[in-house]
Structure 1
Amino acid sequence: MQIMVRISRGAHIFIRVVLILFAFIVPQSLYACDSAILSLLTGTTQHSAVVTKMLAVSQKLQSEGEMLNAFNIAAAKKLHKEIMENWLQTVSELYSNNLVGNNYKEEFSAILIEVAKDLGAVRKNLNINNTNSLHEIIEAGITKISLLGAIINDNKHIYEFLKLELDIYKPRQYINDFEKFSQMTDFIDFDQKIGEFKKSYSEKAAIQADELLQSFKVYSGIIKNKDKDKYMTAYNNFVNAFVLLKKQLLDGKYF
């Protein structure tokens, strides 16, 4: 007798995440950065326990980035294996509870898969001692984990801000390839998004937001003009302006 087993969409996503992570956790012989915003989301809902575990993974990723800064690749490899195992356990817990509403379930699952791919990419590159772009991947992973926390907590302020952060950081891993970099530069309604945030900013943060907008206009103009001699500096200025804005928002308890 043939038995048919029906697997829910959530189970499919969970299995996919597990397979992605497992492919990089197994021995190499078989297979050829901050958490400040997420920390604000711990202890705020009934799901604080799992968000705290997410924060622990995020903080370990941050530590891994610091190890890479110190060129301590051996320590980074060891910690990354622990990170992936911890994240796999966390993902299992995320799927065993009904944590998000229907409006966010598809996006939530997609972000989980992206985080798994990011962690896998870091592991793969560490195995061959290639640290190029690892900081960018780690930073994106931290932001995505924070975004998951915002979805779980239904915090729209943090959710919108982190979505913007991902858009801004998205091109970073292609900074040395102008063609790919320019293709990844897509800030639709960026002026409008910052304008909406400014309505509830402090005066100091609003001034910094204006500076961010100005640096964005310079940067986007250089990209449109295909000025390959100036785009790196312009993009770095843009990112620095965003980092300053984020710091002021955190200091001013905007979130």
Structure 2
Amino acid sequence: MKLELFVYLLFMLFTSISWSQNTDSKKIYTDAYNKEIDKTIYLKKCKNHTYKCLEYKTDSLVVNKVLNKFYFGKLSTQVYQQIRLLINRDSKKKIDSGEIIVLKYYDSLLSFSTLNKKHIKHTLAVKKDTSLSLRDKGRRTHDFNEKKFINNRKKWLKKQNKCIEKYERKFSIKINYLYKAEENVVNNYGGFNWIKDNGVFKNQFFKIMYNYNLAIIKPDGEFYLNGGHTTDKRVEKLLENSNWEQYKNDLELSKTTHMENGYGLFEKIPFYHNSKHCF
């Protein structure tokens, strides 16, 4: 089971438990900028694949929030320099001033024991969900044991090293892997340098758990955040071209004119999980 799948299982577990515990709580719906919106508008946006919709619990509310799945932004010169120097300090890589920074972000690095407990709870929740067909239940559950955990972790690490080598050779970039929390198991995920985030990167790019997991930062401070399926070819377009105006336009058209299937760089991707990819 790949690390991406671990994160998926954790998300499914969170939403299942949150739903079962909060059926009596008041529900509100908000857009990506925390403005309350009508449920009809919320559901319409959720059908647009450039957004993702997550549910959160407060003491008295169940918040259904629309989030941007893809985002373009710009760092100030000062913030960019601070981030570049921070990565230089905490990694064994020196990022030159003209290089693109690529960040792969993981909220947690967990032990087999913790992941197995979450897997069991997730499987039970799926089996009890009467709204799912047997086929859907099969798709949302997977066999998991310590041997598979170890073997898949080794395969994942080997693949990531190949990806790093390939793309750092092909482009003027430095790829860095970051994590926020762990159970003293980071050595079990060795093979390349992890950077532990003390909050700087999370606050700047990855504020909401399960929203974004990839950041591409150009030397001029312009950056792109990805929180959905993408292909290596699409990432390569961003790495090859210094002018992203076309891609920003693609995203805007995907949110408006081509809401159902997306457009250009953000067109829906068929069979994503069946293809090999680094990003």
In the superposition, the TM-score normalised over structure 2's length comes to: 0.24
Higher strand share goes to which structure? 2
> Which structure has the higher relative contact order (CA within 8 Å, separation 6+)?
2
In the superposition, the TM-score normalised over structure 1's length comes to: 0.26
Higher helix share goes to which structure? 1
